[in-house]
């Protein structure tokens, strides 16, 4: 007997690609509503484009740090030292100036020029995976054979993580972001991830390689504790895996459902740049920003929010706000969607955005040109979406050609 899964919280509900109408209703009516998050906590949900932008720009009143004594429901008790160690180096848990200190160590690695230099290697990785798909023959699971391994291999090489360890860390990354798992289990996964990363950091301290971990140790090794290095590298590994891979999977499905637009991405080399931006906007796979905590009493869209409250910015809602863009629910790859919020906004704007864009700009045209007749090998109704994940996407996608 199968048991119906409980619905995810309102800000995570989707009908395939689209947020459910309730989210649009909040945006249209009061703009900000108090809702219950995946852990049963009462949070404020901000839904309008301009409000999301303003909130994410205002790190003084909407903080990423957690006040002393803040605990997640069900989290085991931890000493102050344990907590500090578990949070060290997590850029998404810091405010300026501490955040800026760490981010500035990383930004040289993610300039547009530096990412451009990775283009030949990314192209090679994409080609290898297409070759493997072709020799395996249809049908294949596109998530397993294309969408996940390409960003995974790229971030491993960039960071200095052995790709051979992927079975373990891919499993951990996926489960860490699955909000249907109990908090103690997710904290345990986080602990295991940090332990794994500690072993890589210890090795890199002795023989720093030609990768980001090696660079951080060579250039900033004296300023960074091992805990910070572990936190930074762990965040990059997780973020590098779970974002681009879900965009590649879900975006391919979106194109398969819109064959004219698929053909344009396949046949017109100039189309892919704006197409990537519009797919980022329309799919908005990161369901919410990292929750902020109000440091003072604030008002958003005329709704008062007291100090010390958790506030979620809905990126899908902001990106589908008719006040931001015309016909927001339509996928129109020609428009490029400048100003979309898929990478967030403010000081925490995605560090890896240039890398993610480069990977997608290479991967989609290459996939569609290799397999011009690419098609679903399962019914659309049967496609399994990841509805309880912090990052939306597909569990698998069977395709043929």
Partner 1 sequence: MKLTADHEDCIASGNCVMISDALFDQDDDGIVVLLAEDVPEDKEDLAREAVKTCPASVLHLT
- The residue within the footprint of partner 1, chosen from 24, 346, 365, 393 (CB under 8 A), is 346
Output 141 or 277, the one with its CB closest to partner 1: 277
State the minimum distance, in angstroms, from the CB of residue 38 to partner 1.
27
- The residue within the footprint of partner 1, chosen from 31, 151, 231, 354 (CB under 8 A), is 354
Output 50 or 131, the one with its CB closest to partner 1: 50
Strands (E), 182-315: 292-294, 298-300, 303-305, 310-313
Output 178 or 211, the one with its CB closest to partner 1: 211
* In contact, 277 and 337? CB cutoff 8 Å: yes
Count of residues of this chain found to bind partner 1 when the rule CB under 8 A is applied: 22
* In contact, 306 and 12? CB cutoff 8 Å: no
Asked if 57 interacts with partner 1 (CB under 8 A), we say: yes
State the minimum distance, in angstroms, from the CB of residue 355 to partner 1.
10
Residue appearing with tokens 């509503």: 33
* In contact, 52 and 26? CB cutoff 8 Å: no
State the minimum distance, in angstroms, from the CB of residue 271 to partner 1.
16
Q: How many residues in the chain?
A: 401
Sites for partner 1 among residues 107-166 (CB under 8 A): 107-108, 110-113
- Enter the DSSP assignment of 12: G
* In contact, 85 and 195? CB cutoff 8 Å: no
State the minimum distance, in angstroms, from the CB of residue 212 to partner 1.
14
Residues 6+ away with beta carbon under 8 Å from 185: 175
Whole-number Å distance between alpha carbons of 34 and 303: 10
Q: Could you check whether the bond before residue 139 is cis, i.e. omega within 30 degrees of 0?
A: yes
Which region, judged by CB under 8 A, interacts with partner 1, from 97-105, 208-216, 230-238, 281-289? Answer: 97-105
Q: How far is CA 384 from its chain centroid?
A: 19
State the minimum distance, in angstroms, from the CB of residue 220 to partner 1.
13
- The residue within the footprint of partner 1, chosen from 75, 293, 301, 353 (CB under 8 A), is 353
H-only helix segments in 107-182: 112-116, 119-136, 142, 149-159, 166-176
Asked if 103 interacts with partner 1 (CB under 8 A), we say: yes
Asked if 338 interacts with partner 1 (CB under 8 A), we say: yes
Asked if 345 interacts with partner 1 (CB under 8 A), we say: yes
Residues interacting with partner 1, by CB under 8 A? 57, 100, 103-104, 107-108, 110-113, 338-339, 343-347, 349-350, 353-354, 357
């Amino acid at each position: 007997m199968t048991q119906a899964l409980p619905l995810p919280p309102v800000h995570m509900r989707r009908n395939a690609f689209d947020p459910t109408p309730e989210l649009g209703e909040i945006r249209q009516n009061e703009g900000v509503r108090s809702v219950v998050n995946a852990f049963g906590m009462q949070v404020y949900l901000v839904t309008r484009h301009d409000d999301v932008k303003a909130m994410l720009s205002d790190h003084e009143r909407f903080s990423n740090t957690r006040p002393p004594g803040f605990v997640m429901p069900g989290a085991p008790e931890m000493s102050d030292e344990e907590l500090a160690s578990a949070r060290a180096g997590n850029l998404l848990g810091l405010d300026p100036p501490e955040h800026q200190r760490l981010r500035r160590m990383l930004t040289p690695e993610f300039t547009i020029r530096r990412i451009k230099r990775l283009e030949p290697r990314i192209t090679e990785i994409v080609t290898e995976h297409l070759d493997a798909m072709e020799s395996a023959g249809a049908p294949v699971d596109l998530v397993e054979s294309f969408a996940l391994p390409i960003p995974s291999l790229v971030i491993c090489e960039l960071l200095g993580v052995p790709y051979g360890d992927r079975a373990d860390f891919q499993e951990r990354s996926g489960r860490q972001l699955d909000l249907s798992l109990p908090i103690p289990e997710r904290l345990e996964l986080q602990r295991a991830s940090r332990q794994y990363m500690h072993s890589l950091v210890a090795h890199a301290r002795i023989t720093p390689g030609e990768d980001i971990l090696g660079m951080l140790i060579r250039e900033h090794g004296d300023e960074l504790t091992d805990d910070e290095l572990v936190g930074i590298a762990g965040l990059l590994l997780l973020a590098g895996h779970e974002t681009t891979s879900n965009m590649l999977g879900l975006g391919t499905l979106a194109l398969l459902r819109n064959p004219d637009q698929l053909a344009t991405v396949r046949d017109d080399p100039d189309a892919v740049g704006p197409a990537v931006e519009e797919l980022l906007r329309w799919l908005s796979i990161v369901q919410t920003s990292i929750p902020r905590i109000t440091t003072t009493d604030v008002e958003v869209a005329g709704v008062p929010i007291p100090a010390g409250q958790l506030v979620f910015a809905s990126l899908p809602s902001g990106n589908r706000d008719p006040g931001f863009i015309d016909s927001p629910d339509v996928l129109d790859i020609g428009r490029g969607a400048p100003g979309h919020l898929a990478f967030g906004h403010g000081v925490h704007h995605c560090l890896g955005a240039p890398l993610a864009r480069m990977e997608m700009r290479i991967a989609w045209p290459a996939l569609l040109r290799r397999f011009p007749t690419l098609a679903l090998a399962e019914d659309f109704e049967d496609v399994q979406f990841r509805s309880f994940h912090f990052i939306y996407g597909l569990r698998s996608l069977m395709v043929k050609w």
